[in-house]
Structure formats: C-alpha cells, structure tokens
Amino acid sequence: MFHLAHISDIHLSPLPGITYRELASKRITGYINWRRNRQGVMTSGALEALIADMQAQAPDHIAITGDLVNLALDLEVKAARLWLETLGDPADVSVVPGNHDAYVPGALDNACRIWEPWMRGDGVDNAGHRVEFPYLRVRDGVALIGVSSARATAPFMASGDFGRGQAKRLAQMLDETAGRGLFRVVMIHHPPVRGAAPAHKRLYGIGRFQKIIRKHGAELILHGHTHLATRYEIDGPSWKVPVICVPSASQSFGERRPAARFNLFTIGKADGKWTCRWIERGVIGSDKQIATIAEHELDVAHDLQSSTGS
C-alpha cells in the first residue's frame, strides 16, 4: 500500500515587509485583498495543527497543488522553501505551482528556481534552469505527474493555462507509465472541470486537458485553487477518472469556506485491479482539533492492462 497525502493553497502567513516599489504592480490589489479579507482567515495556527496531524499519519509522499505564497514576494518564496524543508526530503514531497506563486511576471521563474528540488523529475538535472512541466516521479508503483497551470495574470484575474506543449508531454508520460502498470496521479492547481471555478479563475485549456485524459487515461487527478472540498469525474478511455480538490491548508474554522483539511489516499491493487481509499481529515473546531471528516472508496478498479488508452 502507498499512502499519499494531498494539501493545497497554503498561503503562508504572515506577509513579510513589503516596499512601495513591490506594490507598484498587481500586488497592490492582492495586498489590499489580504488586509481586508484574508489576514485573519488564513492562519498559521490552523496550518500548523493540520501539518502535525498529517505527519502523524506517516504518509509515504505528500502532494502540494500550489499557492504556497500570497503575492510571490522574494521573501515569501524563500520562506516557503524553508517551510518545505520542514515537511521532509524533497524526494518525498512533490509541488506544482499555483496562480499566487506566479502573481506577477517573473515570479514563477523565481519560485520554480528556489523550489526546484520539490519539482525535480526522476533522473532530471535542471542545472539551475526553469523546471519543465509536466515532471514525473515514480514511487512504489505510483506515478506522480506534476502539471503547471500557473501564469501571471492581470489584476482581478486568477486564471490558469494548460497549453499544447504540456499536453504533448503529458500524453507521452501517461502512455509510458501506463505501459509500466503504474497508478497515475496527475497534480494541477486549477480545476480541469468546466464550471468548477468562476470565469475569472478558470483554467484555459480544459478541453485540451480532458482530451488527453480521455485518450491516454489516468487513475486520479488532484487540484486546489477553489479552497473547496469537491469531487468530480472526467472521462478516461473506458472509465471515469476522479478529480478531487482539497480545501486550503490554512483556512480558519467558522469561515465561509471549509476549514483547513488534507486528504489521505491509500493506493494498492488486488486481483489485477487498482484500489484507492480516501480519508478526509481536517479542523473541526475553533480549538484547531483535527479529526476524520469522511471516508470513501474510489472506483479505480479498471484492468491495469487497459490503462494505455490504445
């Protein structure tokens, strides 16, 4: 059995000191939003309690689907690296970026450079260059494929993008890992489902992404961005692929969106078919107590040999 924990939308706080020069960009609107709407809602206390409980479950691997920071300030990105180091060895933690990590032009390159050990595909030497997405890691029969939907956008926009270059590489990775009989987990920040996010926060390229999954298959898709606990399905070659979002890992209890939560997936196989048990754990009170919220059995029991999509 392989135990995979999923967290997202960390939004590490508090914000470091910010200069007037740094605010002379889209960051001014984000800063105002933080002060008005998020400063007292996205709290490190909830995050610390959640991470302590997650680590107590001893997952084999942790998937983080973006938005580690808020305004992609240099000091924020460096602080996020220090935080990542507390989670474990980079080989055991996989990160994909979110829109807040790419808040202004140039920010995504900076984040990917500083967080590169957590985005490094197996056998890849990025040698200080920007990470190429998707990247692929294989752990105990599970393929972890990191897709980037992050991009800098105009003020009041938080959309993402999945372009042709990533689509081509994703198709190749899905076929190659299917041929090896692996359980394929695709990680992306924005939901690859129509209507799952408002228009100004949507993913451009949803049709392209779904076409790749429909043709080449996957077993599980994990995302963040909406700060909600949702479960959708999209078509695979001959089965439905679960698409699961986890609420923000730093959300306080008692607010409009669900409190901080992580998902834990136990992946195995029996009689030539995959099995996947999914447990939701999160904050259930103002005292930051963590408990199991729900347990599910995901239907991933298609034949392993049918996963090539051919």
Tokens of 283: 């904050």
CATH number for 151? 3.60.21.10
pLDDT at position 302 is 79
pLDDT digits (tens, 9 = 90+) for 125-155: 887 677 899 999 999 999 999 999 999 888 8
Percentage, residues of the chain above pLDDT 70 = 87
DSSP string, 221-249: EEE-SS-S-EEEEEE-SSSEEEEEE---T
The amino acid at residue 181 is: G
Cα 80 from Cα 153, distance rounded (Å): 21
Domain residues for the domain of 9 are 2-306
Per the CB < 8 A criterion, the answer to whether 50 and 290 are in contact is: yes
- What does pLDDT average to over the chain? 90
Grouped pLDDT means (10 residues each) for the chain, 310 residues: 97 67 59 55 80 97 96 91 95 97 91 95 83 96 98 88 97 97 97 96 98 98 97 96 97 88 96 93 92 95 56
Q: Is the dihedral of CA 76, 80, 81, 86 positive or negative?
A: positive
pLDDT digits (tens, 9 = 90+) for 271-300: 888 999 999 999 998 888 999 999 999 999
Domains in the chain, number: 1
Q: What is the helix, strand, coil percentage profile of the chain, to 5?
A: 30, 25, 45
Cα 275 from Cα 298, distance rounded (Å): 7
Q: How far apart are the first and last CA of the chain?
A: 28
Q: Which of 222, 223, 221 is nearest to 197 (CA)?
A: 223
